[in-house]
Structure 1
Amino acid sequence: MDGDRSTALRRRNPTPVPNHERHFYARNRAFGRFGIRIFEPQLMPMPHWHGHVEMNFATGVRMTYDFDGSRLTVPEGRLVLFWAGVPHQLTGLEPVGEGPMRLANIYLPLDSFLQMRHIMTLQAALIGRGMVALPDTLCDAGLVQRWYADYRSGDFERAEIVKMELNALFRRAPVAGFDFLRDPLHEIGSDRSLSTAHVRHVIAMVRHVLENLEKPLLNAEVTAVTGLHENYALALFSRTMKVPLKQFINRMRLMRARALLVESSTAISEVAEQSGFSSLTQFYARFRAGYGISPAALRQHYVRMDLR
């Protein structure tokens, strides 16, 4: 990577780390919104997960992630992609060179990623719980800095161009070649029987869930988009996502509910409805089970953080 560009990424726009994640959640049909931040990376006290495809670009540091039970090293100066719905935790930081450690995070909502055209290879890799590093010839610090400037401009058109450039980058990646920091499940171990075609069926089911999250979702309806037998499609989903379909739907609804709670003043009863819960009682029970806190308490927690 060019030294001047690396230095530029480290020193320009030294944006502090947000003290919480609400800036990347929004009231849309997903459960997160597009965002970019550049900051000094910090170790994470525990694993977390959220509703984005996350991209990391580190300079001045190599990072260690605990990712779905695997310990992975994220290299400096390369754009690294993974689905952040997989539990992940930054556990190690190794300085490289004499400059400051800087990390650019790019958050792309999962539904936006799955709706991008002609990138099925990459979609299958990430939904298959792989972690991908793009070659440095495709993305350098100067490009990341330009994306960040476009995002920070507040100009809608510039932000849309960034997304279009990401789509083009994703399309170019299989042509240029990329490295797996962790192979997708359909390429490793006992899951070699999961072909890319199988993962594509899973992606179709995930898309249907995300596009209809506020509606009642029956297994038969979701699996019908694959053209496969219901039981076979359910087994395929569980093997790929490492979670049953019903549990996945519940997780996605909780993500949307948390987004609505921290981003808006929408009444809690309406949050439950927009997130697809059949009753307020069910919503409260599942929210507390998932987050260990009531919806009202979580909202108040974020309000207090805003006032700091």
Structure 2
Amino acid sequence: MSYPAALVLHTPELWCLTGPAPTMRQAHCHDDIELNVVTDAPLRYLFGGTLAEIRPGEVGLFWAAMPHRLLDSPADMSRAHVGWAHVPVRTVLGWSLPDAGLARLLGGRPVVAPMEAAGVLDLSAFDRWTEDLATGSVERRRIAMLEIQAHIRRLLHSVRGTDLPSVEWDGTDDGVRHAALMARYAMAHFHDPITAAEVATAAHLHPNYAMTLFRRVTGTTLGAYLTQCRVAEAQRLLLTTNATTAAIAVEAGFGSQSGFYATFNRLCGMSPGAYRRRSGSSQSAPDRRN
């Protein structure tokens, strides 16, 4: 199986905005912590191997290094007014979050909760942060960052579990369900060599049809999706463990250390060691996995 880079990759940066939910034609990833609030209509994501919904009046928080795509909703997407904030993961690591909160944040599943779990948070906060960042003022940027940090800390402290609420996908075609089953299988087995046929079997589909369907729903190939899952796992291990890069290559599912280095450099724009150093992660850091 080949692993082309068919995902949309974005450079991590701090930004905020509000507005209608965008159309997302392709899975994408970026090394940020993403905070969303939504009003009027739900946001529906295929996130890693999870179908996730952020309903009006809820907040979503996740590490966006995992491939994710905002799916078309049965509701009018133009009514789903959203507040978006992206904070680079290296910035969040500097906050010295409690181990349990950091593990939840980097665990590969979004945190979804009522807005009040994050404190007094609504779209006006995102408008204020957007204005603060646009001024270029160092002090206003610092104030915005402190407020964002407080909301994220409160949310992680308030939400103890990691289970998502059940999602009713009324009006969504079966293709999304099948693609979600395949993505879930890929997430559970990306550490090992797996074939397209094995992934298709998880959705009870013929491999050729399954791969066409997967690409239609996610906007990317299964190979690229598996590669990004492996890279995201390598990023998590680099950030939260003292494992060597050789051990991480094996743990993340890469067939060789040279292949790991080449793929990581291509997708992240730097070597694994440089990524660890840039993020300020110590090689003696504790393993914060649940």
Q: TM-score normalized by structure 2?
A: 0.55
Equivalent AA in structure 2 for residue 52 of structure 1: D
Give the 3 Å change call, closer, same or farther, for CA 46–159 of structure 1 in structure 2.
same
Contact 1:133 1:179 in 2 (8 A): no
On the 8 A contact 1:223/1:234 being kept in 2, the answer is no
Report what 1:87 is aligned to: 67
Quote the offset at 1:112 in angstroms. Answer: 1.5
- Which of these residues, 54, 57, 62, is aligned with residue 34 of structure 2? 54
TM-score normalised over the length of structure 1: 0.52
Residue number among 125, 136, 143 corresponding to 2:104 in the alignment: 125
- CA distance in 2 between partners of 1:49 and 1:127 (Å): 14
Provide the secondary structure at the position in 1 that maps to 2:129.
helix
Q: Who is 1:147 aligned against?
A: 129
Q: What corresponds to 2:90 in structure 1?
A: 111
Shift of 1:100: 3.7
Which one has the largest radius of gyration? 1
Give the structure, 1 or 2, with the largest relative contact order (CA under 8 Å, sep 6 or more). 2
Please give the residue correspondences for 1:80-229 in structure 2 after superposition, counting only pairs within 5 Å. 80-95=60-75, 100-137=79-116, 138=119, 139-177=121-159, 180=162, 182=164, 205-207=237-239, 223=243
**AA partner of residue 20 (structure 2):** E
Q: Give the whole-Å Cα distance in 2 for the aligned partners of 1:88 and 1:63.
A: 12
Structure 1 residue 65, shift from structure 2 partner: 0.7
User: 124-133 vs 170-179, which deviates more?
Assistant: 170-179
For residues 263 and 164 of structure 2, what CA distance do their matches in structure 1 show?
A: 24
CA-CA distance at 1:49 after TM superposition: 1.3
Aligned-pair distance for 1:45? 1.5
* Closer/same/farther in 2, CA of residues 101 and 171 from structure 1, 3 Å limit: closer
SS of the residue 1:223 aligns to: coil
What's the RMSD between the two structures over aligned residues?
4.0
Q: Does the residue aligned with 2:243 lie in a helix, a strand or coil? A: helix
Asked if the contact 2:101/2:157 (under 8 Å) is kept, the reply is: no
Following superposition, the deviation at residue 75 of structure 1 comes to 1.4
Q: How many residue pairs get matched?
A: 198
Q: 1:241-252 counterparts in 2 under 5 A?
A: 250=262, 252=264
Asked if the contact 2:48–2:67 (Cα under 8 Å) also holds between the matched residues in 1, the reply is: yes
1:85 shift after superposition: 1.1
Structure 1 vs Structure 2: percent identity of aligned residues?
19
Given residue 22 of structure 2, which amino acid in structure 1 is its aligned partner?
Answer: Q
Asked if 2 retains the 8 angstrom alpha-carbon contact of 1:114 and 1:203, the reply is: no
Gaps of 5+ in 2: 1-7, 166-183, 190-233, 273-290
User: What letter corresponds to residue 36 of structure 2 in structure 1?
Assistant: N
Which ranges of structure 1 fall in alignment gaps of 5 or more residues? 1-20, 26-31, 191-201, 210-221, 258-274, 278-308
Q: Paired residue for 2:52?
A: 72
Q: Residue 115 of structure 2 contacts residue 122 of structure 2 at CA under 8 Å; is this kept in 1?
A: yes
Conservation of the 8 A alpha-carbon contact between 1:119 and 1:170: no
Show CA shifts across 1:258-280 (max 9, x none): xxxxxxxxxxxxxxxxx349xxx
Say if 1:152 and 1:79 are closer, same or farther in 2 by CA, change over 3 A: farther
Distance 1:35 1:49, change over 3 A: same
Q: Displacement, 1:180?
A: 3.8
Q: 1:177 to 1:128 in 2, by over 3 A?
A: closer
> Does residue 43 of the first structure (1) align with residue 23 of the second (2)?
yes
